[in-house]
Amino acid sequence: MSEKYIYDLSEGDASMKPLLGGKGAGVAEMTRLGVPVPDGFTVTTQACIETMNNNGEWPEGLRGQIADALTRFEQRAGRVLGASTKPLLVSVRSGAVVSMPGMMDTILNLGISDESVDAIAAESGNERFAWDCYRRFIQMYGEVVEGLSSHVYEDALTAMKRAKGAESDTDLSAADLKELTAEFKRISNEELGGNWTNDPREQLFRAVEAVFRSWQNPRAQVYRKANHIPDDLGTAVNVMQMVFGNRGDTSGTGVCFTRNPSTGEKALYGEFLTNAQGEDVVAGIRTPRPLSELRDVLPEAYDQLIKTMRTMETHYRDMQDMEFTIENGKLYMLQTRNGKRTAAAALKVAADLVDEGLIDKEEAVRRIEPEQLDQLLHPAIDPNHSAAPVVTGLPASPGAGVGAAVFDADTAAEKGAAGEPVILIRFETTPDDIHGVLQSQGVLTAHGGMTSHAAVVARGFGKPCVAGATTIKINPDAKTVTIGDVVIHEGDQITVNGSTGEVFNGPLALIPPRLGEDFQKVVGWADEIRDLGVEANADNGPDAAKARELGAEGIGLCRTEHMFFGEHRLPAMHEMILATNDEERRSALDKILPMQQADFEAIFTEMKGLPVTVRLLDPPLHEFMPDLVTQALTVQELELTGADPGELAAERTTLAQVKKLHEQNPMLGTRGCRLGMLYPQIPDMQARAVVRAALAVFEREGETVQLQIMIPLVHLQQELKTQREIVVAAVDDELAKAGKQLDYKVGTMIELPRAALCADQIAQYADFFSFGTNDLTQTTLGISRDDAENGFLGWYESSGVVKRDPFATVDVDGVGQLVRMGVEKGRSVNPSLSTGVCGEHGGDPDSIAFFQTIGLDYVSCSPYRVPIARFAAAKAKLAQQDSAS
Amino acid sequence: MSEKYIYDLSEGDASMKPLLGGKGAGVAEMTRLGVPVPDGFTVTTQACIETMNNNGEWPEGLRGQIADALTRFEQRAGRVLGASTKPLLVSVRSGAVVSMPGMMDTILNLGISDESVDAIAAESGNERFAWDCYRRFIQMYGEVVEGLSSHVYEDALTAMKRAKGAESDTDLSAADLKELTAEFKRISNEELGGNWTNDPREQLFRAVEAVFRSWQNPRAQVYRKANHIPDDLGTAVNVMQMVFGNRGDTSGTGVCFTRNPSTGEKALYGEFLTNAQGEDVVAGIRTPRPLSELRDVLPEAYDQLIKTMRTMETHYRDMQDMEFTIENGKLYMLQTRNGKRTAAAALKVAADLVDEGLIDKEEAVRRIEPEQLDQLLHPAIDPNHSAAPVVTGLPASPGAGVGAAVFDADTAAEKGAAGEPVILIRFETTPDDIHGVLQSQGVLTAHGGMTSHAAVVARGFGKPCVAGATTIKINPDAKTVTIGDVVIHEGDQITVNGSTGEVFNGPLALIPPRLGEDFQKVVGWADEIRDLGVEANADNGPDAAKARELGAEGIGLCRTEHMFFGEHRLPAMHEMILATNDEERRSALDKILPMQQADFEAIFTEMKGLPVTVRLLDPPLHEFMPDLVTQALTVQELELTGADPGELAAERTTLAQVKKLHEQNPMLGTRGCRLGMLYPQIPDMQARAVVRAALAVFEREGETVQLQIMIPLVHLQQELKTQREIVVAAVDDELAKAGKQLDYKVGTMIELPRAALCADQIAQYADFFSFGTNDLTQTTLGISRDDAENGFLGWYESSGVVKRDPFATVDVDGVGQLVRMGVEKGRSVNPSLSTGVCGEHGGDPDSIAFFQTIGLDYVSCSPYRVPIARFAAAKAKLAQQDSAS
């Protein structure tokens, strides 16, 4: 017997989401709860997966099961697909496990045919409606299922309008549309080389097949990649009886949220259109009306809807995003799902649901997607401006963005990826624009409402969006938008405020974001749960201040090399590099010391009372010198153009030095503690600058930091032993001279495979380990980050050879194994060893989940990732508890 | 009670070598066997070690124990140190556990003093002898123990000779020497600021201290480093009663070997001088006489010596190197040790000792130092030459060398290290010349015999040496050597033949070495013992032939990239690189295919019947393109000099391509299987070329190779899966087209840490693993080999931060851990997985010992390392058996 691939609605429930998809499980659950839902059945994700794995061949039995399910469905409905009396019309929709709005295909009105069209006309009492449905169905089916171009149909439509002297579609009569339908069928069959089918049953099979296929379409792949949705989940297919919101003024369709998905406020939020199909609302073709107005239009349906919204929210204990259709005054719910929301809304909803007693604090923390908080940390427009908006649209996704105007998604994607801030301006967005939205600073559309595609996608990605700015005139060919009498060309700077809907000509200044009360409340719960410490990477006072404000419990990585750059410092650094003996080197370092000390004082002042981990000089010395190619060209140019001999000689000397310092593979070169081994004066100077700064801050502030000095790039026990001795000698000497006491720790980065493999040797001289998983990834995988992302690694990612960028999310199998080994071996000889991770993985939720499982003490990430890391650490703890229980 | 630091000779035996040193244990053992040895005692290595560890402070009790031992010694001798009647004179010599000839310090005649000198004159009946001893003692003691400059004494001696009108030392009378002695003492005391001592007991303490110190002198450190002798062994100190070989014509001194250390022949081998001190023979100041002549001079002592030689060789079951002194006709043995020998001698002695029933085959194999066999593989002079030697000296160390004449060790070391072949020409060599000998192609000395310092050291290092070419005139200041009427300047090419003693003006052609019968016999025993397979790295037919001749059991690494270079191939390679689509790329590869196939056919023809592992293209593509800096300069030059626009455009195109392919860290870049992932046409082409070649060889020869195709630089399971599919598809397609069957395997290099860490994933698609420990070392340690050896790694080695160059001997703790893990994890999922190592570690005996312990199946090394690896593998097996039992 073959697998069960079909579930009638009455057979499913919410728990079956992996098998039935979000939509299928949602409607089944609503059915179970007595909410009015159109009848139908669901083809499982398993059927899709097996089809994918079998090169598009359906699994045995699927076709028969669909036929049987349809027969049962027809019996329940008392209607027959494509019949000339009481015909059944169905929608065929995708339904993935994780919502991917608009990414996959949908076919409506399947079942309309030459046989059934008259019956539909009769039932609806509207012949024109029936033929309009029919011709629309053929176009939709032809495009979506058979892959025909929309031009084929649009040309025929245009020709028909011209022939009939019609200005718009609505000028065409029922007879015209009947003629058009025949023409559409003729063209379709011609395009398909005679392979067109008019049989609704065969159309249903092909439609299911098309939905399966649409799981693999490019925009769905991009969306999954951006949202880290696995490629092998597959989609379910929902076959449901059609209900019509376009049967006149007592019909309608809409989308509603049980709370405001932008702010989280518990207030009515939704839109509807009367006499419209569902696609009209979502696609933003017509600008819909606020849900509150439905009360006046269709009060009965309105009341039922409000009641259903409350029921479903309480049932799911979360904000719901629902689709509904009203057919001749009767409400049908088509879908319910946990609503996508902004980070601000997510925090408010979670906090409110706790207040309302629907969920507990742990559950509130579980509800927060840490990665999404990033959008809260985006800047807003500085209120001290006098610019007047050139237009105000709908505030569809909060936050502010400044960038160059671009008018198509490809350009937005390209420029955005290259680092140029852009604002994507579209009449309306479609799923094909996703890659452009992702790379934009903001989106502006002329059409569509708060629940339009652009709005939903922008909110999901935390991009500011102003939608439905209906008065703007976009000319995509000329690449201009006209707003009033202002013409903005591609490349001109504009500013959008997605929190207010305002659009400004030119760039406005932005100010950093503030985290609100809801954030503070919920992150407080997260802090109670987590046991991973969260520190920040910061190299200067302002960054340190920001880190502390965002909740960092210390500085896990203070890089010191940036302190060697700068106009006044580089000359001393050059002197140090060019020194031919220890004395010259020491003298150059003596000039650098007070500058370093001042930098440390600024940081320590901000961080007093907390630990600060200072990493000694790390990069190879040639980074402080001119580039080899540039310098070689400079010398040759002076030679060939007959330059001043003095200048030439100086440039040649520099070239010789650059050549001497040049390395084939600087990543694997003379850097980190290797510099400190060759030039012990450097760690000596840095240790002195650190301790002098710590003492000065204590003197001034009455408190100072918990000092941790970190030796980079150790791979041998002897390196750490020697460097530790140098540091301890310098610090103790400074303390003795000052007559002061100060606790401090000396530890190391574990950033080479050997350091992790031999952590038991190295830990004998370390008070702490900080795993530098960026460099550890480079060496463990043999991938130079500088080269790979535009090289083979980018291709590996896009072609699925690797699932995740190993520099964004830690490679658990390889690098993770080394980190685990490092922790275990280190603690085996030094039980008081403190362990953490610094670098980008420290702010990545999935990586944090792994670090929790191996028992690291803390993570350190960039200041703006700190709030994300606090939640991620809490969720990691909860996940660990769950898997233990 | 303190440790026992002193052993009288009668207390020790041969087994106590680690405590008593080689010399101390040797003389104790001789004493035990009744061989005549001067009495004395030994200060243990333990005393030296404790002194070193305590910053030069002697351990408690040592001073007292020396004093007590001296008293016992005086009682046994019936003499007292420094006494005015029956004075005791002693030598104080170093004695390390591993022989380090001439590297450390010796003091003779200690005990001669103002009090005892007259008694010595009376006993010897030779007043001049007594005073000559005395003044020599003061100089030796002053220089060695007190660190005074030899100039101090030489100036005084010169002044004395001038004052006395003496031409040579021997013209000075006893009275002159007495006066000189007084002057020497006066100067010494002045130089030491009044700290000179005339007390022989105090002198003894200071002499022992000086010997301890000499363990740390620079030349001893260099020697230990070159011979991989641990720095913490310390030296023993032997205090022995002086016997005098310079008491006239019935006295003498000499050195003998129980067999010929150059050839291994069982024949009398040794030299002596009558009326001489031991140092005169070893230092090569006077040219000694062959030992056979001793029979005529002192027949009784000669017979006793021959008997002693036989006794000691049988006792130790190995060739002995012995020192003796004859005092007034009475033979004293001063030292015996296993004799250093050439590789040829080592093989012959081992084979002969087995024939003589003294040792078994296993022991014979244990006796071979695999590394030493390298010298057998050095070239000889092509016999087809008509050049006449300009001089013939002693054939002191076999083999031939060609190089530029140099006249000091520093220059030899510097040029040799830079890759320039040099011949070191010295009047005589001293221990201070070691670093120069090490870096030379050969050594030529004017003075010294077959057992001179130069000869011993050269034989140890396998360097050709012609010694005692007495007619040559060396002018070290002018940097010339005059041989007859030929004047050779520094930098002129000369040729030395250490097997014949001939020296030629100009470079002669050399021919590759042949391995003799003794080698074949003993290596056969090694092959019976070992279970590690030994294969070779070879990329062409001649190398493959050489590898097979030297005993390789297959090709473990056949690199294919060299086949892409060459005048006719590079253009096709450029076409491949510059291809803008798959078709162009395929077309370029089609041109390369037949060339690759021809290369493979040449190799396979040589290796038929054996496995050959072909590695697919590995290096990054930019290695086939011009250098970035060069190309940028070319373009700028054309720009500035107003070049032909066509040429400029072409060079600019090339520059653009070079820039595109340029990588910051090519070691971690787009190479290995990453190329094969991006351009699947490459592995497809290579697989086809390989299989066509294998079939063609079968067709022609009736036999072909066991084909293994190896995918480089895998770090992900998916990479190997994909590459394996490409290769299998191509091979199977070729076989199907040819209608042939062929067994073949597909495996991978494990050369990135992640590959070893995830070997259980990767092994699912691998028939074999070949550990590429060179790249694995680079990534595991984070060291770019190209940069590091002239950078920090060289400094780490010379300053002792690392004990061994990790690229020469595998880093067991780090890289070794990964290899072990890779083997274990790989076999856990694929028990039939074959595992090996390719690269330089595969030919390094210490690394091979490690690979044996983790159960690798084979090693692969360069053809000339194969004989070494065969012995090393056998010894590794024996060591493993020993440690298991």
DSSP A763-828: GGG-SEEEEEHHHHHHHHHT--HHHHTTTHHHHHHHTTSSSS-TTTS--IIIIIHHHHHHHHHHHH
Could you give the number of structural domains in chain B? 3
**CATH assignment of the domain containing B441:** 3.50.30.10
pLDDT at position B1 over 60: no
User: CA-CA distance, B573 to B625, in Å (whole number)?
Assistant: 9
Nearest to A757 among B674, B719, B814 (CB): B814
Question: What angle, 0 to 180 degrees and rounded to 10, lies between the N-to-C axes of helices B570-578 and B582-607?
Answer: 140
In this prediction, residue B178 carries a pLDDT of 95
Q: Which chain B positions have a beta carbon within 8 Å of A753's beta carbon?
A: 753, 779-782, 814, 818
For A21-47, give one letter per residue: b (16+ CB within 10 A) or e: bbbbbbbbbbbbeebebbbbbbbbbbb
**DSSP structure class, residue A357:** T
Per residue in B792-817, pLDDT tens?
Answer: 888 898 788 998 889 989 999 999 99
In a shared domain, residues B500 and B556: no
Backbone region of residue A503 per phi and psi (left: phi > 0; alpha: psi in -120 to 50; beta: other values): beta
Instruction: Answer whether B395's CB lies under 8 Å from B501's CB.
Output: yes
Among B774, B783, B825, pick the best mutation site for testing chain A contact (most A Cβ within 10 A).
B783
Among B665, B802, B821, pick the best mutation site for testing chain A contact (most A Cβ within 10 A).
B665
Q: Does B829 touch chain A (CB under 8 A)?
A: no
Does B700 map to a domain?
yes
Q: Does A883 touch chain B (CB under 8 A)?
A: no
Per residue in B369-424, pLDDT tens?
Answer: 998 887 787 778 887 788 889 998 888 888 899 999 999 999 998 999 888 999 99
Q: Which chain A positions have a beta carbon within 8 Å of B680's beta carbon?
A: none
Domain boundary among B479, B511, B543: B511
Does B492 map to a domain?
yes
**CATH assignment of the domain containing A44:** 3.30.1490.20
- The answer to whether the CB atoms of B791 and A757 lie below 8 A apart is no
User: CA-CA distance, A257 to A272, in Å (whole number)?
Assistant: 12
DSSP A647-689: HHHHHHHHHHHHHHH--S-GGGSS-THHHHHH-THHHHHHHHH
Mean pLDDT of A578-586: 88
DSSP A314-332: HHHTS-EEEEEEEETTEEE
Which residues lie closer than 8 Å to B699 by C-beta, 6 or more apart? none
Beta strands A289-290 and A269-274: pairing type?
A: antiparallel
Q: Does B664 touch chain A (CB under 8 A)?
A: yes
Q: Which chain B positions have a beta carbon within 8 Å of A778's beta carbon?
A: 668
Beta strands A400-406 and A394-397: pairing type?
A: unpaired
* pLDDT level of residue A134 (50, 70, 90 thresholds): very high
Binding site for substrate: which residues of A?
559, 615, 751, 772-775
Of A252, A246, A243, the closest CA to residue A294 belongs to A252
Which residues lie closer than 8 Å to B731 by C-beta, 6 or more apart? B687, B688, B690, B691, B709, B742, B744
Residue matched to tokens 């996704």? A397
Q: Which chain A positions have a beta carbon within 8 Å of B722's beta carbon?
A: 801
DSSP B99-156: --TTTS-EEEEETB-TTTHHHHHHHHT-HHHHHHHHHHHHHHHHHHTT---HHHHHHH
In a shared domain, residues A480 and A593: no
CA distance A355 to chain B (A): 48
Cβ under 8 Å to B: A residues 287-346: none
In a shared domain, residues B507 and B544: no
Among A326-330, A619-623, A628-632, which stretch is predicted with the lowest mean pLDDT?
A619-623
Catalytic residue among A133, A256, A838, A861: A838
- The stretches of A356-403 forming alpha helices (DSSP H) are 361-367
User: CA-CA distance, A365 to A362, in Å (whole number)?
Assistant: 5
pLDDT at position A814 over 70: yes
Percent pLDDT > 90 in chain A is 69
Per residue in A613-629, pLDDT tens?
Answer: 999 999 988 888 888 99
The token pair at B76 is: 């046994």
Cβ under 8 Å to B: A residues 809-828: 811, 813-815, 817-818
Three-state DSSP state, B12: coil
User: CA-CA distance, A174 to A876, in Å (whole number)?
Assistant: 61
- B460 labelled binding-site residue: no
The two most distant CA atoms of chain B are separated, in Å, by 103
Quick count: other Cβ atoms within 10 Å of Cβ B567? Answer: 6
In a shared domain, residues A582 and A449: no
Per residue in A365-377, pLDDT tens?
Answer: 999 999 888 778 7
User: CA-CA distance, A259 to A49, in Å (whole number)?
Assistant: 35
User: CA-CA distance, B803 to B347, in Å (whole number)?
Assistant: 30
Instruction: Answer whether B587's CB lies under 8 Å from B683's CB.
Output: no
Q: Which amino acid is at A613?
A: T
Cβ under 8 Å to B: A residues 666-695: 666-670, 674, 677-678
Nearest to B633 among A636, A781, A818 (CB): A636
Domain boundary among A195, A221, A242: A242
User: CA-CA distance, A774 to A840, in Å (whole number)?
Assistant: 7
Q: Which amino acid is at A402?
A: V
In a shared domain, residues A482 and A605: no
Q: Which amino acid is at B152?
A: V
Q: Which chain B positions have a beta carbon within 8 Å of A641's beta carbon?
A: 640
Nearest to B677 among A666, A782, A792 (CB): A792
- The answer to whether the CB atoms of A666 and B664 lie below 8 A apart is yes
Q: Does A478 touch chain B (CB under 8 A)?
A: no
Q: Which domain holds residue B456?
A: 389-511
Per residue in A397-425, pLDDT tens?
Answer: 888 999 999 999 999 989 998 889 999 99
Q: Which chain B positions have a beta carbon within 8 Å of A720's beta carbon?
A: none
pLDDT at position B459 over 90: no
**C-alpha distance across the termini of chain B, in Å:** 36
Domain boundary among A199, A220, A242: A242
Per residue in A743-802, pLDDT tens?
Answer: 999 999 999 999 999 999 999 999 999 999 999 999 999 999 877 766 788 889 878 899
In this prediction, residue B263 carries a pLDDT of 87
* pLDDT level of residue A284 (50, 70, 90 thresholds): low
Q: Does B574 touch chain A (CB under 8 A)?
A: no
Which residues lie closer than 8 Å to B59 by C-beta, 6 or more apart? B2, B3, B5, B47, B50, B51
Q: Which chain A positions have a beta carbon within 8 Å of B713's beta carbon?
A: 782
In this prediction, residue A524 carries a pLDDT of 96
Does A592 map to a domain?
yes
pLDDT at position B471 over 90: no
In a shared domain, residues B502 and B540: no
The token pair at A273 is: 């259109």
User: CA-CA distance, B516 to B380, in Å (whole number)?
Assistant: 14
Please state the φ and ψ torsions of residue B721, each to the nearest 5 degrees: -60, -50
Catalytic, A228? Answer no
Does B208 map to a domain?
yes
Which residues lie closer than 8 Å to A497 by C-beta, 6 or more apart? A380, A381, A389, A395, A400, A464, A466, A503, A504
pLDDT at position B783 over 90: yes
Q: Does A780 touch chain B (CB under 8 A)?
A: yes
Mean pLDDT of A142-152: 91
Among B30-39, B108-117, B173-182, B441-450, which stretch is predicted with the lowest mean pLDDT?
B441-450
User: CA-CA distance, B818 to B865, in Å (whole number)?
Assistant: 24
In a shared domain, residues A394 and A445: yes
- The 3-state secondary structure of B524-570 reads HHHHHHCCCEEEEECCCHHHHHHHHHCCCCCEEEEECHHHHCCCCCH
pTM across the whole model: 0.81
**ipTM of this predicted complex?**
0.81
pLDDT at position A1 over 70: no
Three-state DSSP state, A495: strand
Instruction: Answer whether A112's CB lies under 8 Å from A178's CB.
Output: no
* pLDDT level of residue A287 (50, 70, 90 thresholds): confident
In this prediction, residue B419 carries a pLDDT of 86
The token pair at B339 is: 């004799």
In a shared domain, residues B25 and B129: yes
In this prediction, residue B220 carries a pLDDT of 86
> Exposure of B203 by Cβ count < 10 A (0-12 exposed, 13-18 middle, 19+ buried)?
buried
In a shared domain, residues A705 and A808: yes
In this prediction, residue B243 carries a pLDDT of 92
Beta strands A289-290 and A834-838: pairing type?
A: unpaired
- The answer to whether the CB atoms of B666 and A666 lie below 8 A apart is no
In this prediction, residue A522 carries a pLDDT of 96
**Segment (H or E) for B502:** strand B502-505
In this prediction, residue B864 carries a pLDDT of 83
Per residue in B220-251, pLDDT tens?
Answer: 887 888 778 888 899 999 999 999 888 888 99
In a shared domain, residues B552 and B473: no
Residue matched to tokens 């979000």? A22
Per residue in B301-341, pLDDT tens?
Answer: 999 999 999 999 999 999 999 999 999 999 999 989 898 88
Of B245, B391, B231, the closest CA to residue B331 belongs to B245
A-B interface: how many C-beta pairs under 8 angstroms? 187
CA distance B667 to chain A (A): 7
CA angle in degrees (0–180, nearest 5) for A592-A593-A595 = 70
User: CA-CA distance, A458 to A378, in Å (whole number)?
Assistant: 14
Nearest to B801 among A665, A718, A779 (CB): A718
In a shared domain, residues A503 and A550: no
Per residue in A35-77, pLDDT tens?
Answer: 999 999 999 999 999 999 998 999 999 999 999 999 999 999 9
Per residue in B654-700, pLDDT tens?
Answer: 898 898 888 989 999 999 999 999 999 999 999 999 999 999 999 99
Mean pLDDT of B345-365: 95
Mean pLDDT of B494-515: 88
Cβ under 8 Å to B: A residues 620-659: 628-629, 632-633, 636-637, 640-641
Catalytic residue among A378, A435, A447, A453: A453
Q: List, in sequence order, every residue forming a beta bridge with B424; answer none if it has no partner.
A: B406, B443
**CATH assignment of the domain containing A838:** 3.20.20.60
Per residue in A462-473, pLDDT tens?
Answer: 789 998 888 899
Question: What angle, 0 to 180 degrees and rounded to 10, lies between the N-to-C axes of helices A582-607 and A681-701?
Answer: 30
- The stretches of B790-865 forming alpha helices (DSSP H) are 792-798, 817-829, 845-853
pLDDT at position A485 over 60: yes
Q: Count CA within 13 A, CB hemisphere, residue A471.
A: 12
User: CA-CA distance, A769 to A615, in Å (whole number)?
Assistant: 12
Three-state DSSP state, B636: helix
Residue of B nearest to A631 (CA): B629
Does A188 map to a domain?
yes
Does B536 map to a domain?
yes
Mean pLDDT of B266-277: 89
In a shared domain, residues B495 and B534: no
Percentage helix, strand, coil for chain A under 3-state DSSP, each rounded to 5: 50, 15, 30
Q: List, in sequence order, every residue forming a beta bridge with A503; answer none if it has no partner.
A: A391, A496
Quick count: other Cβ atoms within 10 Å of Cβ A881? Answer: 11
Does B200 map to a domain?
yes
DSSP A130-147: HHHHHHHHHHHHHHHTT-
Catalytic, A453? Answer yes
CA dist A18 → A32, A33, A40, A65, A95 (Å): 18, 20, 18, 20, 10
- The answer to whether the CB atoms of A722 and B801 lie below 8 A apart is yes
Among A171-180, A485-494, A734-743, B791-800, which stretch is predicted with the lowest mean pLDDT?
B791-800
pLDDT at position B111 over 60: yes
In this prediction, residue B429 carries a pLDDT of 82
Q: Which amino acid is at A350?
A: A
Does A829 map to a domain?
yes
